Structure 1
């Protein structure tokens, strides 16, 4: 999988060198073209993990950026208006993540989102305690984390 990723990066850099345009959008286009070329060359191979994970990683990054911007706007709006809309609360979140790496990644992603903070992890490592700044519905928040961050993250890692 690492070999295919490095080859994809090499193809993207070759694309940038051939076009002579050193912009992120051009690099991204070269990465997508390289991904397509590698997929065409390796579609009969048994190991397709790279070609399954890259779209999931890109989807996770876009989802995280969307949630990040949404949370930032919510906190910024609350700061600049005279009335506070905060409804703080602590949520007991049961995790599907089990390994140390999975728990660490999930807690980091949740903590990076403004308005949420990981307070503690249970002794048996099955529950996260999350402080939420805008908690309107506890069950909806748990579903949002479970179907959003955790599901997407575990699809990439596992």
Structure 2
């Protein structure tokens, strides 16, 4: 299973970088191996082996959310008068491990229009900047029923 994941991560690396050269392939393999080693070390037991379907569901959700939010940001930016209400949102966490918190924070940051700014000292809340925070409760609900729920299913 780790070899398949390393190959998958390497293909993703090649696709993201857009360079299909041998040195880039080797770099992708190296980065994949390091990432998998770090995740395995962080998780202790390889939980991903027990729940590959849930991890794929999380990946699919991320891709869908990435496309939807990129579209929303594009529409906002192309409007003659940008009607956005940027703001800071405090999000209460249900995830608890450092790995889960970091994964959630990164998924939020990688989604256009949102940026994880900080985690509170007691690790109970994320501080998130949203490009359009007109509906903070809606944003919280989307994160809770989307990324956070899928992370708990995959790694909880």
Q: What TM-score, normalized by structure 1, do the two folds share?
A: 0.66
Within 5 Å, give how 1:40-119 maps onto structure 2: 53-119=51-117
Secondary structure at 1:131 match in 2: strand
Q: What SS does the corresponding residue of 1:86 show, helix, strand or coil?
A: coil
TM-score with structure 2 setting the length: 0.67
Q: Which has the larger radius of gyration?
A: 1
If asked which structure has higher relative contact order (CA below 8 Å, sep 6+), I would say: 2
Aligned 8 A contact 2:87 2:129 in 1: yes
| Matching residue within 123, 126, 148 for 1:125 | 123
1:82 aligned counterpart, secondary structure: coil
Contact 2:114 2:128 in 1 (8 A): yes
Q: Secondary structure at the match of 2:51?
A: helix
Q: How many residues align?
A: 115
1:150 aligned onto 2:142: no
Q: Counterparts of 1:57 and 1:104 in 2: how far apart (Å)?
A: 16
Shift of the alpha carbon at 1:50? 6.5
List runs of 5+ in structure 2 lacking aligned partners.
5-46
CA–CA separation in structure 2 for the residues paired with 1:60 and 1:101: 15
User: RMSD value over aligned CA atoms?
Assistant: 2.0
